[in-house]
Structure 1
Amino acid sequence: MLDCQSHTEVEPVPTEILLKRINEFADLGGKQISIAGGEPFCHPDWYQLLTSCCRHADFQEVCLQTNATLLTPGRVSALLELPMDKLFVQVSLDGASNETHDYVRGPGTYELSIMGIRLLAEAGLGERTRIAFTEMFHNFEDLPALLEMVDRLGISRLVSGTLLKGGRATRSDRIALPVPSQYLDLITRYHKDDRFKSLYHRRGNIAAIEWHNGMSLPNANVCTCIKNLFIDANRWMYPCVMMPAEKYAVKAVHNRSLGQLIIESLPLWAELPQIGKRRQAELKFCRDCPGKDHCLGGCMGRAYTAHGNLMEVEDRCALRKAVYCRRPPS
């Protein structure tokens, strides 16, 4: 999700509050935790926080989400001191060149991110590193080149997700979602380019190809809403990172225990699972779609962020339908 906010300075969340929240989440049975931002390396006690997460025996995965621009040899050495059986580093990279990445991230950021990724790879952390790519109209054609780069550097995975515009980004024409023809061209390449297909199965996870390969397999549920709580730096808790809607926000979270917050959230979020089931049955745009049993109405968080209505189709509906309606290769 691209959520462009203003450039006002935000004070880091106090370390003692974050440590308390980490411990509470572990005590409540949490298995996976992600430290995101902003940029985690901007927090003065980032290493203490990350160490606390990695030392919790019950956490199966700890994900550090970064743009890698602030990575240094010293910081990479510090990461090597942490338990490697559960730590993953997820690096945001939105292009295979300065032109595409810097278009949204700012001048000079591509080179800094690549330097950080190389530091991770050279330190032996390549297989613990994933590249997160936001699919947009202007950068979608970079995916094959990014797969080559990921393989060359020994990075474990390239994972793509489609742009979701939030905040001031909704009023900008600078960026846009990919168009159906781009998805279809990529699927055609997947079938005709053996090198690309091999790389993909070794290193890739791209929405268009996953939908294409999985469309004949019914899904029980595509929505992880409520399963993955999201707390932002403004002290609000949401049912999902894809649904940062004030209507479903629990506010002033730093003053209360996580258990209290979850109890408070129950009446706010109680309708969401039922709405998810209604979407699968009632969305008129889904009725004749050949992929309806795979898509199940898509992500309702995306639908709400894009349209302000949980009973609308998600913003990727045209992309999904193009994939589902594509004829199999001859």
Structure 2
Amino acid sequence: MPLSAVHETLISHGLLPPKTLTVAVTEACNQRCAHCWKSAGTGEPACRIPAGTLCEILGEFRALGGEGVRFTGGEPLCHPQWLELLRFAVAEGFGAVSLQTNGVLLDEGRVAALAGIDFPGLSIQVSLDGATAATHDLVRGEGAFLGVMRGMEQLARGGLISRVSIFCTEMRHNLEEIPALLALAESLGVTSVTTGMLVSCGRAAGGALVRPPEPSQYLGLLQRYRDDASFRELYRRVGRVAALEWGNCSEPRGGACNFLENPYLTARGVLYPCVLCHADPYSVEGVLEKGLAAAIVEGAPIWSELLAVSRRRPDEIADCRECGERLTCAGGCLGRAWGSFGDIMAPDDRCAVRREIARHKAR
């Protein structure tokens, strides 16, 4: 299919071309996390994308103007050709190539292989869900914290710590540890920690073990940010927590979600318009067989409908119409709404938190 036809199709449907492709290269995982979206590591036969097939897809994406690729899973290091895939992405000319890992499999040999890529656009995102073993291991299993700390040590020894960022899922049992997590990250030499609220889907759906934080917990974190100068400076150096950013934001968001800029491809060959929007009615199947360009053309009409829905959310969701934050929130994330409630016209699952933060700001 001519590349010009793909771009013309997107333009005709009012869509922006994709910039960064997130690929779940395998469903296999060495952990069985209680908060996993995709229920990876179940012990069932795990799908993985054949290396040759994925290289063809990455080549298509680069030819379409793709700028970056993120390799995730499952655990991407469980894919037998993970290194070949990273090297191919670099050779294709992507400006940014990211490996998203739980860190446990980062032994001396794998880190040496990563260091051998020698590409300034390579980044490594490590999942760390607490500043202590008790907190992290509660959701990832006994020994997980020790394993990721060993992985971080190997990254430091291999000269890669400057490429590392940390991602933490905000949960009820770990939110109070965010200040300690930022301090731990800085002590390890990591300069970027991003956190995001748990989405109650996958294994986390209806679970008693892991739950989203209470609004009062976020207010406590925001108050500490305002009262504690040392934490405030640490946060400015290292952290990015959505709730704290909301607490300091007053600019309108404007427009609507640009979801197609960050599409997500599963190990089974299903393409979703966004890494956060796993709504099957808005997906395209069979991508491994039909190719990425054909899948994007097929998906354009339904993604155009989804874009229209996104634009209507602030006006059609009753809670949004009456909310003073509707301009800065713009209806929130429809992907999170789908994941939490199975309804793209439901409020964002962080709605109560945003409202409480808005009230706190107004005092």
TM-score category (smaller protein): over 0.9
Question: Which residue of 1 is the match for residue 74 of structure 2?
Answer: 38
* Residue 237 of structure 1: how far off its partner (Å): 0.8
Alignment correspondent of 2:18 = none
Larger deviation, residues 92-101 vs 128-137: 92-101
CA contact (8 A) 1:222 1:299 kept: no
Q: 1:54 to 1:308 in 2, by over 3 A?
A: same
Counterpart Cα distance in 2 of 1:112 and 1:195: 30
Match of 1:101 among 130, 136, 140: 136
Q: Quick check: 1:126–1:156 contact (8 Å CA) kept in 2?
A: no
Alignment partners' CA distance in 1, 2:278 and 2:211:
20
1:272-330 C-alpha deviation (Å, 9 max, x unpaired): 1111110122222123323221111100011112112211101111011111111467x
- Distance of 2:297 and 2:358 partners within structure 1: 40
From 226, 233, 249, the counterpart of 2:260: 226
- CA–CA distance in 2 between the matches of 1:285 and 1:107? 41
Q: Tell me, yes or no, if structure 1 residue 273 matches structure 2 residue 307.
A: yes
SS in 2 for 1:119: helix
Aligned counterpart, 2:145: 110
Q: Any stretches of 5+ residues in structure 2 without a counterpart? A: 1-34
Aligned pair 1:191/2:234, yes or no? no
- Partners of 2:50 and 2:111 lie apart in 1 by 24
Please say if residues 302 and 315 of structure 1, whose CA atoms lie closer than 8 Å, have aligned partners that are also in contact.
yes
CA offsets, 1:126-158, max 9 Å, x none? 221110000000111110011001111111200
Residue matched to 2:17:
none
Q: Give the CA deviation at 1:21.
A: 1.0
| Residue 80 (structure 2) pairs with residue 51 (structure 1) | no
Match of 1:29 in 2: 65
Q: In structure 2, the residue corresponding to 1:85 is in which secondary structure?
A: coil
Matches within 5 A, 1:170-209: 170-209=205-244
How far off is 1:174 after superposition? Answer: 1.4
Query: What SS does the aligned partner of 1:159 have?
Result: strand
Following superposition, the deviation at residue 243 of structure 1 comes to 1.5
Provide the C-alpha distance between the structure 2 equivalents of 1:35 and 1:4, rounded to a whole number of angstroms: 15
1:261 to 267, 287, 295: 295
- Taking only the aligned residue pairs, the percentage that are identical comes to 39
Give the Cα–Cα distance (whole angstroms) in 1 for the partners of residues 221 and 236 of structure 2.
Answer: 14
Task: Give the 3-state SS of the residue equivalent to 2:165 in structure 1.
Answer: strand
Aligned partner (choices 285, 296, 316) of residue 282 of structure 1: 316
- 1:120 counterpart = 2:150: no
Measured in 1, the distance between the counterparts of 2:157 and 2:360 equals 41
The one-letter code sitting in structure 2 at the alignment partner of 1:22 is L
Deviations 1:48-86 (A, max 9, x none): 1001112222x2211100001000111111111224321
**What's the Cα RMSD here?**
1.5
More displaced, 59-68 or 168-177? 168-177
SS in structure 2 opposite 1:75? helix
Contact 1:289 / 1:324 at 8 angstroms: preserved in 2? Answer: no
1:209 is paired with a residue of what secondary structure? helix
Measured in 1, the distance between the counterparts of 2:152 and 2:108 equals 11
Displacement after TM superposition at 1:220 (Å): 1.9
Instruction: Write out the 4+ residue segments of structure 1 that deviate beyond 4 Å after TM superposition.
Output: none
1:29, CA displacement in angstroms? 0.4
Deviation, structure 1 residue 222: 6.2
Deviation of 1:221 (Å):
4.3
| 1:137 pairs with one of 164, 172, 185 | 172
Give the letter for the 1:27 counterpart: A
2:52 maps to 1:16: yes
SS of equivalent to 2:220: helix
Q: 2:127–2:166: 8 Å Cα contact kept in structure 1?
A: yes
Deviations 1:169-223 (CA, angstroms, capped at 9, x unpaired): 3132211101111101111111111111111111100011111111x11112463
* Secondary structure, aligned partner of 1:165: coil
Structure 1 residue runs of 5 or longer lacking an equivalent are none
Counterpart AA for 1:276: S
Alignment-mate amino acid for residue 309 of structure 2: I
Question: How big is the shift at 1:257?
Answer: 1.7
Structure 1 CA distance for aligned equivalents of residues 111 and 101 of structure 2: 13
- Taking structure 2 as the reference length, what is the TM-score of the superposition? 0.87
- What SS does the aligned partner of 1:242 have? coil
Query: By how many angstroms is 1:18 displaced?
Result: 1.0
Farther-moved stretch of structure 1 (221-230 vs 318-327): 221-230
Note if contact 2:47-2:268 (Cα within 8 Å) is conserved in structure 1. no
Question: Which string of whole-angstrom CA distances, capped at 9 and with x for unpartnered residues, describes residues 95-138 of structure 1?
Answer: 11111111111111111011111221232222211100000001
Tell me the distance in 1 between the aligned counterparts of 2:128 and 2:285: 31
**Separation (CA, whole Å) in 2 of partners of 1:148 and 1:168:** 29
Distance of 1:249 and 1:157 partners within structure 2? 32
Does the 8 A contact of 1:237 with 1:250 survive in 2? Answer: yes
TM-score by length of 1: 0.95
Alpha-carbon distance between aligned partners in 1 of 2:251 and 2:301, rounded to the nearest angstrom: 34
